[in-house]
Amino acid sequence: MSYNKSSTAHKAFLTHLNTVSIPKTLYEALGHEKWREAMRVEVDALEKNATWDLVVEALVKYKVDGLLERYKAILVAKGYTQTYGIDYLETFASIAKMNIGRVLLSVAANLGWNLQQFDVKNAFLHVTIGLVWEVYQGYALYGVQAKPGKVTTLLVYVDNIIVTGNDTKRREALKKCLVKEFEIKDLGKLKYFLGIEVAQSWHRIFISQQKCVGLVKGDKQTRMQARRLIYLSHTRLDIAYAYLKGTLGKGILFKKGKKLTLEAYIDAVYAGFVVDRRLTSGYCTYLGGNLVTWKSKKQNVMARSSAEAEFRSMTLRICELLWLKIILEDLKITWETPMRLYCNNMSAINIAHNPIQHDRTKHIEVTVYQCLEGGVIAVLQSYIDEDKDESFYTLSWACSIDGIPFLVAGGINGIIRIIDTGNEKIHKSFVGHGDSINEIRTQALRPSIVVSASKDESVRLWNVHTGICILIFAGAGGHRNEVLSVDFHPSDIYRIASCGMDNTVKIWSMKEFWTYVEKSFTWTDLPSKFPTKYVQFPVFIASVHSNYVDCNRWLGDFILSKSVDNEIVLWEPKTKEQSPGEGSVDILQKYPVPECDIWFIKFSCDFHYNAAAIGNREGKIYVWELQSSPPVLIARLSHIQSKSPIRQTAMSFDGSTILSCCEDGTIWRWDAVATP
């Protein structure tokens, strides 16, 4: 809204705001008689109360018509002299959150309350001033309800007080009480509060920061400029300099709505930041149809799916709504409908509505399916982990030296479960990783050996038969961030390749440590006593991608890898025998995958590596032929009901059947159909 339609008095007020400049230094203030008088009054009050030496900062108080009323000086506490553990957390004045101020304005606009402003001298001396201020007949003057339906509310920010409500008699009594207890000045109708201009009419309140916008200089990048821009965000959602200069009078309008409702809208950008792929969440809250709180923040966590990102954002916004509910209850305000939270992600909404689905979404369950003829998927077994906080990210088949099939699972807790599918019980649990496990792969030539990639920046080699951690690939030459994928070489039993959030693919050799692998099969003592060895230096490091590398697979001596750049890359590592870790990379081919720009999407290949299948964030699958050059797209698979991001795929032995695991918890089966 613009101030062009404001009253003549309010326009005059805004004009007078810019006629008085506030001194930037003490010496500048001392050069003006009015400021010296203001400081003298403040010093007299301090000496009267036997306080301490002071440093002063200049302020201006305005009359209702915008004319200069008086110059005012306030105490500035030297916070930098405080000592942590002694007086570090002590404060010197009571302040209310600006969000509460906007909530109060919305309530006042909806209920037709008038806003009155007071000023307190030496506010820091009055320890009883606060959001709950008990000075009158034992009542708390923040949200006082003297009679049913009658409310008086007081808001304090250091030495500025706003009083509003619908109980005129009690407000007058409050005013007399404040004057009696403290040295307080009645500034009349609220017009200017903490640098925010306020215009009031019946059921309408408009706030803006025209004066603050005028102080912003586009050609200067200083701390003061940054502070001004941050402070402008209390009324301006867009603080770009060019936009501010062209919209001086814009602000926020609070008006009476049809109903006094409390609503919140949320959204989240999954892995939107290209450097660390962390999610950004945002929200806005409306009270009575008026915008009162909003925020957009990059979170310190990463989500593996858009559903998880949206669900996290929903959780935070529920906390915000509950906080606002408490504020309104303190103000003795009731609203007419239930609080509402709006989200545009159906998966997150379904998780919130269905607790059973919520448990499944956490992936605490491992299910074994069988693909039957006619496109049927049959459930054979289901295993639910004893730890309800577990969330499985990866599975791999393995077996003991006796041929007993094991299902190896790992997830958020960093524990590897070895599940005996014969009796549907845990055979062993491997503990060693310090964080979540992102992928587990089995050595095809020795299926009792598995390797795990973890968020703790390490790769570990395990013997599922004996429960021994044989090797740990980490250290001086290891990954410098979360390891997302790992794979065994199909024919060279000594080699593995790993990749992760440090944007690299590393090739490791176990040749000189292979005696420990053999020893793990004959070890008879406790697994914890096995002499686990560290492999600190890879034989090759490649920087093929400029972002996270979330999947890599060997194709003979070549490597297939993908990042978040909508393609799979086939490349050849060329190592230098005399310089371990060094070498060059030859890019052989690229396989485009449209709309595959979110991380943690993994591709799969058939047993003979004739084809690769990968999903994207729109629920489509692209199948590429790997044995041809240039690349040949075998199939583009889509279905009208498959719209959720596909996180992983699995191809059958001959590649005739493809399974896809979607973010919404569904599994899709695709079968090749012979054409006549």
Instruction: Quote the pLDDT of residue 147.
Output: 56
CB atoms within 10 A of CB 242: 9
User: Mind listing the pLDDT tens digit for each residue in 251-300?
Assistant: 888 888 888 888 888 887 765 655 566 677 788 889 888 888 888 877 66
pLDDT range class, residue 54, cuts 50, 70, 90: very low
pLDDT range class, residue 173, cuts 50, 70, 90: confident
Question: 411 with 391: CB under 8 angstroms?
Answer: yes
Instruction: Quote the pLDDT of residue 37.
Output: 84
230 contacts: CB under 8 Å, gap ≥ 6: 239
Q: Please check the confidence at residue 601 and state whether its pLDDT lies above 70.
A: yes
DSSP secondary structure string for all residues of 504-554? -EEEEE-GGGHHHHHHHHH--S-GGGS--EEE---SEEE---SS---EEEE
**Using the 8-state DSSP alphabet, how is residue 3 labeled?**
S
Which residue reads 């001033």 in tokens? Answer: 129
137 contacts: CB under 8 Å, gap ≥ 6: none
**Using the 8-state DSSP alphabet, how is residue 327 labeled?**
H
Instruction: Quote the pLDDT of residue 90.
Output: 56
For 362-592, CATH gives: 2.130.10.10
DSSP secondary structure string for all residues of 245-305? HH-TT-EEEEE--SS--EEEEEEEETT--TTT---EEEEEEEETTEEEEEEEEE-SS--SS
Greater pLDDT, 145 or 137: 145
Burial group, residue 71, by CB count within 10 angstroms (0-12, 13-18, 19+): buried
pLDDT range class, residue 39, cuts 50, 70, 90: confident
Retrieve residue 261's tokens.
């409702």
Instruction: Quote the pLDDT of residue 593.
Output: 94
Closest CA to 617 of 350, 395, 363, 347: 347
pLDDT range class, residue 124, cuts 50, 70, 90: very low
- ∠ CA 413-417-420, nearest 5°, is 160
- Name which CATH class applies to 257-356: alpha beta
**Of 55-69, 329-343, 467-481, which gets the smallest average pLDDT?**
55-69
Would you state the torsion angle of the CA atoms of residues 43, 47, 48, 51, taken in this order, to the nearest 10 degrees?
110
Which residue reads 């005013």 in tokens? Answer: 175
* DSSP percent split of the chain into helix, strand, coil, nearest 5: 20, 40, 40
Q: Are β-strands 262-269 and 340-342 bridged in parallel, bridged antiparallel, or unpaired?
A: parallel
pLDDT range class, residue 19, cuts 50, 70, 90: low
Name the E strands within 402-494: 405-411, 415-420, 425-431, 437-442, 449-454, 459-463, 468-473, 483-488
Residue 318 CA to residue 523 CA, distance in Å, equals 54
Summarize the confidence of residues 429-438 as an average pLDDT: 91
Instruction: Quote the pLDDT of residue 294.
Output: 86
Q: What mean pLDDT, rounded, does the chain reach?
A: 79
291 contacts: CB under 8 Å, gap ≥ 6: 102, 252, 284, 285
Would you state the torsion angle of the CA atoms of residues 581, 584, 590, 592, taken in this order, to the nearest 10 degrees?
50
- ∠ CA 422-428-429, nearest 5°, is 135
DSSP secondary structure string for all residues of 291-359? EEEEEEEE-SS--SSHHHHHHHHHHHHHHHHHHHHHHHHHTT---SS--EEE-S-HHHHHHHH-HHHHH
pTM of the predicted structure, to 2 decimals:
0.52
